[in-house]
Structure 1
Amino acid sequence: MKHLVSPLSAAIVAALAVTTASTAYAASPEYKIALIAGKTGVLESYAKETETGFMMGLEYLTGGKMEVNGRKLKVIVKDDQGKPDLGRALLAEAYGDDKADIAVGTTSSGSALAMLPVAQEYKKVLIVEPAAADAITGEKWNRYIFRTGRSSMQDALAAASTLKAGSVGFLTQDYSFGRDAIKAAREALAATGSKAQVIHEEYAPVATADFTAPSQRLFDALKDKPQPRILQIVWAGPNPMNKIADLKPERYGIILSPGGNILPVMKTWKNFAGTEGTIYYYYGFPKNKMNDWLVAEHIKRFKAPPDMFTAGGMAAAGAVIAALQKAPGAETEKLVAAMEGMSFETPKGTMAFRKEDHQALQPMYHFRIKKDQKDEWDLLELVREIPASDLPLPVRNKR
């Protein structure tokens, strides 16, 4: 015997099916966020700081609930070991197998550059933090790439703003980060109107332990040039400033300029009181609620203040939360539209993604190494906060 279903009953059943499907979508249990970092290798300390800052940022911005729009946040952490091939594979795995809504990473510029085409292939958002190579938001950029980290050019413009005249030599690493940094430094000097002349560049292998030969070449090139004679060190990982200082550059009237670094490295610079440089972040400089919370909570949990890559990780978390709040469905096209020009909160204050190339515009800091240090982390004094408006960052991508 057949059971007849009236048209009204059929309509009710259909409506219930649609409602159930919609409810199931709305109640989707989580947003998936992949965090890729070089947790083993020469940059592992940077990666660990980034992860700590990212997780603390999510905690702060969700009031400890670790959810947005009623959906839980699931963070999938992957270690690319600073290897481009592995970074590429892990991002593909995150988008494909893990079904990540957004990815964040990575530590090494070489690995980050390898990851960019993967974001384009899967048509998924990648927030780059903390890799600094200019090509990321320049010639290698695609529309799915956003960067919360500072670029080499932003570093260079900040440094150039402190060099008005004299002679400059550079020591850096022989890979994408180092070469981008020195290219940017040359352009930044011209862009800021500095009269300082670049005299010599030295590119050393990433794992260099003995700096005698490259340092002597820099000394020889600078020693008879107009003062001030600045040897600027642009180095990712353990900074060689102390090793170079042991070679006594002051014999030639040469001043070392180290640039900012992580706190454990800067702790070793007490003998260089009065030396000036520029930095992305130092915990004592920004004055805002998010940074106040980060500093207090980090000291409480880890018995030390947060570092520059901790702040970077928190900035990336700020971008993720702001993006999901603006585009709660996490569909890529809606995320991209929401994030272009989007402002978001960070420990450095409010940042914004420039619409043209998705680079976060942000302040930098001119510092001086303190003479009277009250404790092991009381290292720097602020000379000047350099606002983003004072950093004429060029647009370099081909949109």
Structure 2
Amino acid sequence: MHQSLTPIGAALILAFASAAAPHAMAAPDLKIALIAGKTGPLEAYAKETETGFMMGLEYLTGGKMEIAGRKLKIIVKDDQNKPDLGRTLLAEAYGDDKVDIAVGTTSSGSAIAMLPVAKEYKKVLIVEPAVADAITGDKWNKYIFRTARSSMQDAMAAASTLKGGSVGFLTQDYAFGRDAIKAGKEALAATSSKARVVHEEYAPVSTTDFTASTQRLFDALKDKPQPRVLQIVWAGPNPMNKIADMKPERYGIHLAPGGNILPVMKTWKNYGGTEGTIYYYYAFPKNKMNDWLVAEHQKRFKAPPDMFTAGGFAAASAVFNALSKVPNGNSDQLIAAMEGMTFDTPKGPMSFRKEDHQALQSMYHFRIKKDQKSEWDLLELVREIPTAELPLPVRNKR
């Protein structure tokens, strides 16, 4: 027989149900791991990436830090640029922390070590800011996406500025440098530049005296067809000033530095008119997202955003767009949604190429300003190099 409730009993049940309802209906947090080399020589890059990533999520979520009603929980880990530690931390993020998606890391060596972990756990990893071509080449698997530009994209941007002549390269003697020069030579061959590589110099990472390396480059270039270009590909404090002090113009040699972080480029002010290529400079892109980033970063940090700040923001946009399409975080569904996905970044739109999940993006040809009106008024735009002029080869054997 059905027994009716007393008014007190009914009230207690109603109160309990009301109190329990929000907890029963609340969706679990969306967990995102951000792995970066915050300890060691690439610390500045890692900190910029983290700043840009957090500002990107703030902007894209309107300050709510949630997607589809699910709160975002960001778990930041420092791999100290050590491949073994990077691999361990990513396994920890996927296995113990149960993250839905991961982003990282700063060092290409550590990033390459992390790729098989994503495959083992069947979870998406967005690589930012590591640039080694192998990440979307022979070391790639279907769980890997990259918002960072690749060494080959850097090289093709640089090659697009050359119209014949002779090229010498100076870089660091480790994986990044050798990868970059290999890409540089391939890019010159693949574009219509018709420039010829005449010499390559690989200096130890800790080098402070560039006299011998530079003189070998000068000797190799000085009698070769014009224009004579010495391309500098260097991570961290750049040797351009020391090379410029050796007066390459005596031999008709022009320096072509790759873009760098603002504190490094600030030291180049005596070399106004020198040209190079860069991934991002805060004053170049003209769009609403970049306007917000520049203004807000200036307000908070008394300086404009840098290269890796923009990269972190781009990774945040990829995460936001992917999880907005697949809020349950299912890896197979994420991959399907992200292949070919176009998303806005401070640089403008990027698109993940379906074949290898590399983000296709424009680059910039710059000239160092001769008349710098303020501390960070460093570069002027020669032109934006569109994606169509960067015919990136597919190298992943998919």
| 2:367 partner SS | strand
Q: Residue 288 of structure 1 aligns with which residue?
A: 287
Q: Residue 336 of structure 1 aligns with which residue?
A: 335
Q: Residue 249 of structure 2 aligns with which residue?
A: 250
2: CA distance between counterparts of 1:204 and 1:231?
14
2: CA distance between counterparts of 1:177 and 1:75?
29
Q: Residue 195 of structure 1 aligns with which residue?
A: 194
Q: Residue 206 of structure 2 aligns with which residue?
A: 207
1: CA distance between counterparts of 2:24 and 2:132?
39
Deviations 1:206-254 (A, max 9, x none): 2222222221221121121111111100011111111222222222222
Indicate conservation of the 8 Å contact 2:149/2:359, yes or no.
Answer: yes
| 1:351 partner SS | strand
Q: Residue 17 of structure 2 aligns with which residue?
A: none
| 1:126 positional shift | 0.4
Q: Residue 78 of structure 1 aligns with which residue?
A: 77
Establish whether residue 146 from structure 1 lines up as the match of residue 152 from structure 2. no
TM-score, length basis structure 1: 0.93
Q: Residue 94 of structure 1 aligns with which residue?
A: 93
Establish whether residue 226 from structure 1 lines up as the match of residue 219 from structure 2. no
Q: Residue 56 of structure 1 aligns with which residue?
A: 55
Q: Residue 5 of structure 2 aligns with which residue?
A: none
Counterpart AA for 1:329: N
Counterpart AA for 1:180: D
| 1:139 positional shift | 0.6
| 1:174 positional shift | 1.7
Deviations 1:128-172 (A, max 9, x none): 001011110001100000000000111111110001111101011
Counterpart AA for 1:135: A
Counterpart AA for 2:57: L
| Cα RMSD (Å) | 1.6
2: CA distance between counterparts of 1:276 and 1:78?
37
Aligned residue runs from structure 1 range 1-399, under 5 A: 27-399=26-398
Q: Residue 20 of structure 1 aligns with which residue?
A: none
Deviations 1:99-140 (A, max 9, x none): 111110111111111111111111110000010111100011
| 2:199 partner SS | strand
TM-score, length basis structure 2: 0.93
2: CA distance between counterparts of 1:39 and 1:206?
19
Distance 1:125 1:26, change over 3 A: farther
Number of corresponding residues: 380
Q: Residue 13 of structure 1 aligns with which residue?
A: none
Indicate conservation of the 8 Å contact 2:104/2:128, yes or no.
Answer: yes
| 1:24 positional shift | 7.5
Counterpart AA for 1:272: Y
2: CA distance between counterparts of 1:198 and 1:211?
20
Indicate conservation of the 8 Å contact 2:27/2:69, yes or no.
Answer: no
Structure 1 stretches lacking a partner, 5+ long: 4-22
| 1:25 positional shift | 8.6
| 1:350 positional shift | 1.0
Identity %: 83
| 1:193 positional shift | 1.4
2: CA distance between counterparts of 1:163 and 1:224?
18
Counterpart AA for 1:168: V
* Range with bigger deviation, 254-263 or 309-318: 254-263
2: CA distance between counterparts of 1:61 and 1:34?
18
